[in-house]
Chains A and B, each alone.
Chain A
Amino acid sequence: MDIERIYQESFAGRRNWKDRPPYRAALNGEITAVLERFFAAKRPGAAVSGVRRVGGGASKEQFFFTLSSNGQDEKYLLRMDPGMAITETDRAREFTLLDAMNGVVPVPRTAWVDNDAEFFPQSAAIMHVVSGVAKPSGSGVKVSGLGTWLGPEMRAKLRDQFMDHLIAIHAYDWRAKPLDRFDVPDADPKQAARWSFNFWRELWQIDEGETRPIFALADQWLADNLPDTADLVLTHGDYRTGNFLFDEDSGRITAILDWELARLGDYHEDLGWVLTRLFGTVDETGTFRACDLYEREEFITEYERRSGRSVSRGTLHFYDVLSNYKCYVIVAANGLAAARSQNNHQDVLLTFLGGTEPVFANELANLLSKGAQA
């Protein structure tokens, strides 16, 4: 299968998911002990304290902690893979990207990575803590940031930044400043789309998703309609409300998070993801807002105006379908496989997220009813 090399390697490991022993959520004391062993090697004399779990999120185990050294306290965030994550990603690649993005868009500063799980029980990365919230206080309990309601005031403060940061990511000059561990899909014009589609198609096979006719139709439609990519850019891969932090008082975005699905590809892929209906909101007038920030056409035209790029409606239609196909794979195959194998720390969340399956099936049916081009 034509797929980026790094995923050929990680998929080989994922194929044995049924043989892995169950994974249990790490306890604060266990994390403290492993951090102490890690820093005994990396920063002798430093003391670890205040280890506490970070709530929210559906993919990684995350802990805040304080590191004291030479009379100074520094706060850090540990991100560690569970036994089996909801998607297949690479901590070292995410680390590389965060370093590259420093100064381009607001990102957490990296500190250490243990990609080969030399010290930690799973692949792990440590970052400096960034202040901010992922959703407004009092916005209620929302699973994994889906459909977060920002409201008119915060929307007005965030929307230009949200757009400008996305455009800055797409404008990153990866040819002048190459990204280690990122392959370039330039063998033919369709390779970028094919790599992305094959990534999710392969995950579906590995995790033994149970098919239904609309999924089968979407799978074949995507295989038959791969678009050309004329302009390869860095894509974030999971750019949406819920995956950035902002200061509630000023409305300033303080960090873009969750870069683990970033790759070199087609900017339409990020646009399609932003426009995914489940990540947006519908207000009392029935108006849909992508990520509760922009109406669909407004987002597209504003992206074109600010970036100078043109948005192909046909290509965007492909990535609209692919976005919902990805979501379908995540909730109906990846999450359920992780839960079935007891290889994740949040089985009950993953099976709850499985309840979104009909939403994505409905979106696929609506999109495919439009034919090859919207």
Chain B
Amino acid sequence: MRPTFDERLASIVRALSEVVLPHLPPEASLAQEQVQLSIGHLQIMRAQLDQLHEYEREELADYTALASALCDAVTGGTQTQAALDALAQAISDSATQPVRAARKAVNEAVDALVKACAADGASGARETLTRLILTQEHERIQKDRKWFAPFGFDTL
């Protein structure tokens, strides 16, 4: 029998909460704050751990879908075309890259396309790019807000 990740995290949270924190002197304000934040972090990570891979795979799929839609809809001059070529390559590479590296590469290629389209996008291309990004990101952001909701900041 081996300890699961959940059991290991739970034991760390308990040690910090019930052994370390009560023994910190009142004047150790920074240490108290840091332990409380550490406990909060660990509790959230415990709750998210089993869904982490699914969350990250879905995130990459969402960004790749947006990137593909941009490749299909945006046209322009030499800068825009070069950015589109690079984006198509990033999409293709994402199938074999580790998921976080792939997400970063795809989003950086979208970033470059936004800049290139501002420079020499075809007539209407910027409006199309803006509409696609806003539509897709509205949906993606709601998933991210839900994922980070346990942090307690999002009351909007």
Contact = CB atoms under 8 A, between A and B. Distances in A.
Contacts of B33: 55-56, 349
A343 B151 CA distance: 23
A54 B29 contact: yes
Contact of A147 (B118, B134, B153): B153
Given A357-B148, A361-B144, A345 B30 contact: yes
A268 to B, nearest CB: 22
Contacts of A361: 137, 141, 144
B147 interface: yes
B110 A216 contact: yes
A148 B115 CA distance: 38
Interface in B114-156: 114-115, 118, 130, 133-134, 136-138, 141-142, 144-145, 147-148, 151, 153-156
Given A54-B29, A147-B155, A349 B110 contact: no
Nearest to A282: B155
A55 B29 contact: yes
B77 interface: no
Contacts of B14: none
A220 B125 CA distance: 14
A352 B37 contact: yes
Given A146-B153, A345-B30, A216 B114 contact: yes
Nearest to B150: A355
B34 A348 contact: yes
Interface string A116-155: 0000000000000000000000000101001100000000
Contacts of B148: 355-358
Contacts, number: 113
A82 B22 CA distance: 27
Contact of A213 (B38, B133, B144): B133
A287 interface: no
Interface string A196-216: 000000000000001111111
B72 interface: no
Nearest to A350: B37
A358 B153 CA distance: 10
Contact of A53 (B30, B66, B145): B30
B18 interface: no
B30 A277 contact: no
B36 interface: yes
Contacts of A105: none
B136 A352 contact: no
B108 interface: yes
Nearest to B108: A211
A239 to B, nearest CB: 20
B104 A210 contact: yes
A214 B133 contact: yes
Interface string A346-372: 101101100111110111010011000
A358 B145 contact: yes
B153 A356 contact: yes
Most buried by A among B115, B144, B156: B156
A25 B31 CA distance: 10
Which A-B residue pairs are the 4 nearest by beta carbons? A355-B151, A55-B29, A358-B144, A216-B111
Interface of A: 25, 52-56, 141, 143, 146-147, 210-217, 219-220, 223-224, 277-278, 281-282, 345-346, 348-349, 351-352, 355-359, 361-363, 365, 368-369
Interface of B: 27, 29-30, 32-34, 36-38, 40-41, 63, 66, 104, 107-108, 110-111, 114-115, 118, 130, 133-134, 136-138, 141-142, 144-145, 147-148, 151, 153-156
Given A52-B27, A147-B155, A355-B151, 11 more contacts: A212-B63, A213-B137, A214-B133, A220-B115, A345-B30, A348-B37, A357-B144, A361-B141, A362-B141, A365-B138, A369-B134
